Amino acid sequence: MFDQMKERMFNDIYKSGHINRYCFEFDFLPNVLPSLYQKDEIDDYIMTHPSEWKKILVKKGVRSDWGFDKIKVEKFELDKDRIKFIFTFPEPKVSPECFFAMLIFDEDKNSNYFTLELDFGSSSIFKEGGGIVCGQKGMKHLNYSRRCRNDLNEFEKTVQDIINGKPNDPRDMFKNFDFEEAAKIGIDDEFFKKMGVTSEQMKEACTIY
C-alpha cells in the first residue's frame, strides 16, 4: 500500500512539471535512468552528464529542476562485466537528502542502488556527522542500518561489505555517538531502558573495538 502511494506521489510530481530533490534521488536515479540504460536507450555519456538528463525529463513534461547540474558522476569498470556509477550530490540540508548514491549494474545491466542519506541527528548527536547507508528498489526503500561518515571511500567500503554479506554489528550505529547531546533531546536512560540496556552499558559496548 505504501509503495503504491509513493508511486502515485512520484507520478504527481512529474505531472506538476517540477522534479524536486527527493523525487530525483529516490525515483529518477534508481528507476528511470537505469531502465533506459538497460534498454540501451541512453549510453555512458548521458549517464555521466546530468545536463543531458533534462532531455529525458522534457519528454515527461518536466521542464524545471532543483539544480542537478551540480551533481558529479563517475563511471568505474568492475569485474565480470559489472560497472558502477557514483553520484556525488550537493551537501544535503534535510533528511533524507543524500551525500552520495551508487548504481551498480551486473553483466545483464540489472541494477542495485545504494545511498548515503542524511538522517535525524547527524548534525547533533553523531560527532562525525555522516548518515545512514540505504537503498531503493523500485518503490521500496531499503535501510541497511549502517552509519557512515561523509566520505566517499568509506561509503564504497560499506556498500561492498553489504554486497559481500558481511554481518552488521548493531554497535556500529552508536560509533561517535554524543550521549550528552542525545540526552538533551530525550535519548537518555529511559530511552535505552526500553531497549533493555542502560546508557552506561551502551557506552561500554560501543568502546569495545
Task: Point out the residues of the chain with pLDDT beneath 70.
Answer: 1-2, 120-129, 169-209
Q: Report pLDDT for 16.
A: 83
Tens digit of pLDDT for each residue in 58-115?
A: 888 887 777 888 999 999 999 888 999 999 999 888 889 999 999 999 999 999 999 9
Strand partners, 88: 72, 100
Edge-to-edge order in the sheet of strand 83-88? 72-77, 83-88, 98-105, 111-117, 131-137, 140-148
Note whether 116 and 132 are within 8 A (CB): yes
Coil, strand or helix at 128: coil
Q: Report pLDDT for 28.
A: 94
Q: Report pLDDT for 208.
A: 35
Domain boundaries of the chain, sorted by first residue: 2-168, 178-209
Q: Report pLDDT for 14.
A: 82
pTM (2 decimals)?
0.79
Note whether 132 and 146 are within 8 A (CB): yes
Question: Residue 34 is placed in which grid cell?
Answer: 537505469
Q: Is the peptide bond before 50 cis (omega within 30 degrees of 0)?
A: no
